[in-house]
Amino acid sequence: MSPEFDPRRLRSHRWFGPDDLRSFSHRSRAKQLGYSEADFKDRPVIAILNTWSDINPCHGHFRTRAEEVKRGVLQAGGFPVEMPALSLSEPFQKPTTMLYRNLLAMEAEELLRSYPVDGAVLMGGCDKTTPALIMGAASVDLPSVFVPAGPMLRGRWRGSVLGSGTDQWRYWADRQAGVIGDCEWREIEGGIARSAGHCMTMGTASTMTSVAETLGLALPGSASIPAVDSAHSRMAAESGRTVVELVKRDARPSTIVTASSFRNAVVAVLALGGSTNAVIHLIAMAGRFGIELSLDDFDALSRRVPILADVRPSGRHLMEDFAYAGGLTGLLSRLPDLLDLSRPTVAGGTLGDALSGAGVHDDDVIRPREAPLAAEGGIAVLRGNLAPDGCVIKHSAADPKLLRHTGPAVVFADYNDLVARIDSPDTAVNEDSVLVLRSAGPQGGPGMPEWGMLPIPKRLLRRGVRDMVRISDARMSGTSYGTCVLHVAPESSIGGPLALVRDGDPIRLDVPGRRLDLLVDGAELERRRRRWTPAPPRPERGYGALFREHVSQANKGCDFDFLARPGVTDEPEIH
C-alpha cells in the first residue's frame, strides 16, 4: 500500500463518507446487500465490468473469472462490485457486433461515471468487447485493468487441427466444391470450438487483447494465456490485486497510455499479422485518449515491421501454440528496436521490464527476425480514385499473384443482391473479375458488417479457384483471408466513388504501389456522380438511426462524433 494513500480522497468517499442523508442511504443500501462497514469503509470500490452472457461462448468462463478477480480485489483491500455490461457475442449478434461497439463503450463509460467506483476491471475478449471497454474506460479515465478472455483450445478433426473462422471457410469452400460430404462437415462442426475462450486464430479477438497488453492496460503476459488454463485464473486474481494498487497510486489510463504506446500497439498488430479490424479500433481508441492515429501511421510502420507470428490466417499455427511458444511477450522481445520500452504498464514497471524475462521457445511459431513469415507487416493502406480517404488490405493472407491485378468489375448493389446473384448463371464472372460490394460501410451496412470476404462463385470454386480480388466498404473477420480490399472510404452509401462503379469497368489493384484505381475517365465519373442519388436512410428510428447519424468513416475509426469530441464530462452531482 502506498504510504500517501488517503481513503478520504477516494471518489467513492463522496457516496459513502459524508455524515448526511444521501450517504446514510448509500451505506444502508450496502448493508441491505449484506455488507458491513468493514467490507466497504475506506476501501477502493472496484467495478468489475463483466461481459459474460449465456449466449457468448467466448466469455463462457467469465462467471468464474469474475469470482477470481474479486478474490484478488479483496486480498488487496478493495471492495469488488461486479456489474454486467453488454455482451457483444460475435457469432450470434446481427447484423454485426460492430454496430454495438460504441454502445458498449458508452455503457462502460457511464457505468463507471454514475456509480461509486474508484477503479475498474474490464473483462472482455470477443472481438469488439476489447476496444469498446477500453474506449469507455479511457473517456472516464479511472484506474483500470483489462482482463483478456484468452483464446479457446485448438480445434481438432480426424487428426487435423482446426482454426476458428479460417478453417470453417476453408472447409466450406471444399464442401461447396464437393470435396467433403455432410458427415465430415458435421464432425468439423463438433470439433472446431472445443472450450470457452475467444477465437484461437489471429482474428480480431487475439489481435485486440494483444493490443490491450501492449498498451500497458493488461498484465504483461495475460493476452496469450489460453482461456481454460489455470494460469488464466491466477491472472484474473492478480488483475484484481493490481487494480487496487493502481487506485492507491491514482494511476489512470491517461498516465499509462501515450502516442508512443499506440505506436507500440501498431507494431504488435503488424508483427502478429493481426486483424484489419485493429486499424479501425486503434484509431477510435487513440481518439479517446486525445491522440491522433492515422492510416498513414499504419502503412509507414507496416513497411518496417516483419510478421513474426506464424499463426492462421496468415501462418500455420494457432493461439495455443503461440502461448506455449512464448506468447505476446516472447514476440515483442524480438522487436525491442521498434518499440518504446519506457512506456509503463498496469503491473507497475515498464514495457521493457515486462519483456526482460521473456523469450521464445519455438522459432517455428514465433519466427526469428532473420526468418520472418513476411518481411513487411501484413496490412497495407491503399489510396486512389476509388478510395480517396483510403482502404486496407491484409496482403499477408492474400494470393501473391493477385496483389497486382487489373480486371473487370462485377458489381453487387448490396449484400442481398450478392447472395441472390453470385451463383446465378446470368452473372458474367471469371477468375479475373473484380467483385465489388456496395452498401456495406459504417452507415450503409449499417455498422460495417464483416461481408468483405465476398464468396467466390461456386462454379469457379469447382474449377479450383480459391481467391479473387474483392473490394468493398465492409470489414472482414480477422480470421478471414483472400485478396479482399476493405474499409473503402468514403463509403458508397454517402456517395464515395465505389457508388459509381459499373459492371465491366476495369479496376486496377496495385498493393506494392499502394494504389486502387477505377480506370474510367474523370469526365465520365463526374457524369455518373451527378446522376447518383442516395438510398433512403435506414433504419429510420432507434439506436440504428443514432448510429447512422453519428458514426464516422472507417479511416476515422467509426466512433460517434459526440463521443470522440475532446473535453471531460462532469462528475455526477450527488444529491
**Residues engaged in binding ligand FES (CB under 6 A):** 58, 90-91, 126-127, 164, 198-199, 203, 205
Instruction: List, in sequence order, every beta strand (DSSP E) within 6-118.
Output: 45-50, 79-84
C-alpha separations of 74 from 44, 122, 357, 471 in Å = 10, 17, 29, 52
Q: Cβ closer to ligand FES: 113 or 198?
A: 198
Question: Is 168 one of the binding residues for Mg ion (CB under 5 A)?
Answer: no
Restricted to residues 292-321, the positions that interact with Mg ion (CB under 5 A) are none
Q: How far is the CB of 170 from ligand FES (least distance, A)?
A: 16
C-alpha separations of 400 from 370, 374, 380, 485, 512 in Å = 21, 12, 13, 14, 11
Residue 91 touches which of Mg ion, ligand FES, none (CB < 5 to 8 A by kind)?
ligand FES
Q: How far is the CB of 90 from ligand FES (least distance, A)?
A: 3
User: Taking Cα atoms as reference points, which of 148, 204, 102 lies closest to residue 563?
Assistant: 102
Restricted to residues 106-135, the positions that interact with Mg ion (CB under 5 A) are 127
Q: Cβ closer to ligand FES: 142 or 193?
A: 193
Q: How far is the CB of 164 from Mg ion (least distance, A)?
A: 8
Any bridge partners for residue 46, and if so which?
Answer: 80, 119
C-alpha separations of 43 from 37, 55, 182 in Å = 10, 34, 58
Q: How far is the C-alpha of 367 from the C-alpha of 362, rounded, in Å?
A: 8
Q: Cβ closer to ligand FES: 129 or 144?
A: 129
Q: How far is the C-alpha of 196 from the C-alpha of 176, rounded, in Å?
A: 29
Q: How far is the CB of 144 from ligand FES (least distance, A)?
A: 21
Which of 4-12, 18-26, 461-469, 476-484 is the region at the interface with Mg ion (rule: CB under 5 A)? 476-484
Question: Is 477 one of the binding residues for Mg ion (CB under 5 A)?
Answer: yes
Q: How far is the C-alpha of 247 from the C-alpha of 2, rounded, in Å?
A: 10
Q: How far is the C-alpha of 238 from the C-alpha of 261, rounded, in Å?
A: 23
C-alpha separations of 193 from 162, 197, 276, 501 in Å = 9, 9, 23, 40
Restricted to residues 258-287, the positions that interact with Mg ion (CB under 5 A) are none
Which of 51-59, 201-209, 248-256, 307-315 is the region at the interface with Mg ion (rule: CB under 5 A)? 201-209
Task: Read off the C-alpha cell for 204.
Answer: 480480431
Q: Cβ closer to ligand FES: 199 or 410?
A: 199
Q: Cβ closer to ligand FES: 126 or 286?
A: 126
Q: How far is the CB of 36 from ligand FES (least distance, A)?
A: 39
Restricted to residues 70-109, the positions that interact with Mg ion (CB under 5 A) are 90
C-alpha separations of 333 from 337, 366, 458 in Å = 10, 11, 44
Among 204, 210, 233, 258, interactor with Mg ion by CB under 5 A:
204
Task: State the residues that interact with Mg ion by CB under 5 A.
Answer: 90, 127, 203-204, 477
